[in-house]
């Protein structure tokens, strides 16, 4: 339903606006959803029309009391819970350090996953290692789960001689072949339709592979989103299509991209099962992704998800959100903080403590600093060495066309 209060009424258009401006207290309504609201339909028989409530409600497992409840509880063992918590904390600390590096001129640009650490980490943990990952710049955490070295990630962010993309991408636009982590694209949204194509290829080859992809609330207004969902609806390939609704697309509120409607339900008329999932709830995300993967294993094809979360930090190192939203708005988000919630859950289960958490944070910070020191042995931003300029021309064409050859010769002069 459109909330008319969210819309400007100036004729002839309705323009979705943010719930609050920087000088106003954030007006998030208390969540009406609880972990016991929704059934977990059998993934091997569930049809799109069985997910109407799931597309309009919210799949949650961790309640306001930080305990797990309801049919979506994946009942994870202690080891998996602590592994997930560890990766999330590692990403937050990595991001904080890298942001400081950017502020002191050691990186040219940076983007944090602050408040969204849970998403790629929980979801990648729920997948198989052969599954393909088509991320945006806010899912670097998938690489931690798949085992990419932090040094290699920093080499990329600096653009030194060991950068595996040879300085051709902005920092944080990772690519990592070994982890089936496809290159982050600067033009937003392109990965969404590519992911559907790769899923179709996996199905065509008869391989047991799934593809997961994410797109932002803002980028879902691009054609790529609609091409992707149309192809997914028509050919039913093994793909998990996730719209990360973190409320903002730089300074534009999500209401602008949907006219105030929810994102999850957009998949229903396409005949694709749809879930709306609490994006700050590790257990809900893990469980929803397992459910989608089970559908894929049963040969039933795509699932469409809205991941309901909040971008707690600035869009990037170039952005100052206090000019378009309350500076502390993230503290008012009813979904809380994903790390705090899983930490509190583990403490309540008796498998973790504040003291252990603090000690782990210290160790992780040491790990990040040690990785940075190792990375700059291969060159720093100010002094290099950088990938040679000649690499601008390599690895794109098998046979270099004449006009590129001419440019290459000109550079050599
Ligand atoms: C095609 C295209 N248009 C515009 C931009 C500039 N731009 C970069 S990120 C961004 C906002 C994306 O917001 P959203 O999709 O919600 O993702 P989020 O950053 O919130 O994760 C914009 C407009 C771009 N990179 N590519
Ligand atoms: Mg967004």
Q: Is the pLDDT of residue 8 over 80?
A: no
Pocket of ligand 1 (CB under 6 A): 136, 138, 186-188, 216-219, 244, 246, 248-250, 311, 315
- What is the per-residue DSSP string for 5-71? GGEE--TT--EE--S--TTS---PPPP---TTSS----TTT--GGGGHHHHHS-B--B-TTS-B-ST
Output the pLDDT for position 19.
86
What's the average model confidence in pLDDT over 175-194?
98
Q: How far is the CA of 249 from the centre of ligand 2 (A)?
A: 4
Output the pLDDT for position 285.
98
Bridge partner residues of 328 (DSSP): none
Q: How far is the CA of 250 from the centre of ligand 1 (A)?
A: 7
- Helix, strand or coil for residue 253? strand
Q: What confidence category does residue 404 fall into, taking pLDDT thresholds of 50, 70 and 90?
A: very high
Which residue from 51, 14, 22, 46 is spatially nearest to 264, judged by alpha carbons? 51
Summarised one tens digit per residue, pLDDT across range 89-144 is 999 999 999 999 999 999 999 999 999 999 999 999 999 999 999 999 999 999 99
What's the average model confidence in pLDDT over 391-404?
90
Out of 65-69, 159-163, 197-201, 260-264, pick the least confident: 260-264
What's the average model confidence in pLDDT over 344-352?
98
What's the average model confidence in pLDDT over 244-253?
97
- CA distance to 104, 150, 161, 176, per residue, from 167 (Å): 20, 17, 8, 14
Q: Is the pLDDT of residue 9 over 60?
A: no
In the chain, where the domains are located? 37-382
Say if residue 412 is exposed, middle or buried (CB neighbours under 10 Å; 0-12, 13-18, 19+): exposed
Residue 293 and residue 309: Cα distance in Å, rounded?
22
Which among 270, 324, 386, 408 is annotated as catalytic? 324
Summarised one tens digit per residue, pLDDT across range 139-178 is 999 999 999 999 999 999 999 999 999 999 999 999 999 9
Q: Are 191 and 134 spatial neighbours (Cβ–Cβ below 8 Å)?
A: yes
Q: Maximum Cα–Cα distance for the chain, whole Å? A: 69
Q: Is the pLDDT of residue 403 over 80?
A: yes
What's the average model confidence in pLDDT over 390-412?
90
Average pLDDT score over the chain: 95
Q: Which of 219, 225, 325 to mutate to test the pocket of ligand 1 (most atoms within 8 A of CB)?
A: 219
Q: Is the pLDDT of residue 385 over 70?
A: yes
392-396: long-range contacts, CB 8 A cutoff, minimum separation 24: 392/168
Output the pLDDT for position 237.
98
pTM metric for this prediction: 0.96
Q: How far is the CA of 135 from the centre of ligand 1 (A)?
A: 13
Which among 156, 253, 311, 326 is annotated as catalytic? 311
Query: Catalytic: 315?
Result: yes
Query: Catalytic: 311?
Result: yes
Q: What confidence category does residue 11 fall into, taking pLDDT thresholds of 50, 70 and 90?
A: low
Output the pLDDT for position 10.
53
Q: Which of 217, 249, 252, 253 to mutate to test the pocket of ligand 1 (most atoms within 8 A of CB)?
A: 249
CATH 3.40.50.740 is right for the domain spanning 37-382: no
Q: Is the pLDDT of residue 2 over 60?
A: no
What's the average model confidence in pLDDT over 6-29?
78
The 3-state DSSP composition of the chain as helix, strand, coil percent (nearest 5) reads: 45, 10, 45
Q: Is the pLDDT of residue 6 over 60?
A: no
Q: Is the pLDDT of residue 211 over 90?
A: yes
């Amino acid at each position: 339903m459109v909330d008319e209060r969210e819309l400007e009424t100036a004729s002839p258009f309705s323009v979705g606006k943010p719930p609050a401006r920087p000088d106003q207290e954030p007006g998030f309504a208390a969540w009406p959803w609880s972990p016991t609201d929704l059934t977990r339909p059998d993934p091997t028989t569930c049809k799109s029309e069985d997910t109407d409530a799931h597309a309009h409600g919210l799949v949650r497992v961790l309640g306001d009391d930080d305990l797990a409840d309801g049919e979506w509880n994946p009942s994870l063992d202690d080891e998996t819970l602590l592994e997930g918590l560890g990766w999330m904390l590692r990403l937050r600390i990595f991001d904080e350090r890298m942001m400081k590096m950017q502020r002191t001129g050691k990186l040219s640009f940076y983007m944090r996953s602050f408040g969204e650490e849970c998403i790629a980490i929980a979801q990648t943990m729920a997948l198989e290692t052969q599954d393909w990952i088509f991320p945006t710049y806010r899912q670097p955490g998938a690489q931690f789960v798949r085992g990419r070295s932090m040094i290699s990630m920093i080499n990329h962010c600096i653009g030194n001689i060991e950068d595996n993309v040879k300085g051709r991408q902005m920092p944080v636009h990772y690519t990592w072949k070994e982890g089936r982590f496809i290159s982050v694209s600067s033009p937003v949204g392109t990965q969404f339709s590519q992911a559907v194509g790769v899923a179709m290829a996996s199905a065509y080859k008869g391989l047991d592979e799934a593809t997961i992809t994410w797109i932002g609330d803002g980028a879902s207004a691009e054609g790529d989103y609609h091409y992707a969902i149309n192809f997914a609806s028509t050919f039913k390939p093994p793909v998990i299509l996730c719209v990360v609704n973190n409320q903002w697309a730089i300074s534009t509120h999500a209401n602008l991209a949907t006219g105030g409607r929810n994102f999850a339900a957009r998949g229903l008329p396409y005949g694709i099962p749809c879930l709306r999932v609490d994006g700050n709830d590790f257990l809900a995300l893990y469980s929803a992704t397992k459910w989608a993967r089970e559908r894929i294993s049963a040969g039933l094809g795509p699932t469409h998800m809205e991941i309901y979360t909040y971008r707690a930090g600035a869009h990037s190192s170039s952005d100052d959100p206090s000019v378009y939203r309350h500076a502390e708005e993230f503290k008012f988000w009813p979904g809380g903080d994903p790390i705090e919630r899983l930490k509190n859950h583990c403490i309540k289960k008796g498998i973790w403590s504040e003291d252990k958490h603090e000690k782990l944070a210290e160790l992780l910070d040491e790990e990040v600093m040690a990785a940075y020191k190792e990375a700059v042995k291969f060159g720093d931003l100010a002094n290099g060495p950088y990938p040679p300029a000649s690499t601008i021309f390599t690895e794109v064409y098998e046979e270099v066309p004449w006009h590129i050859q001419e440019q290459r010769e000109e550079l050599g002069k």
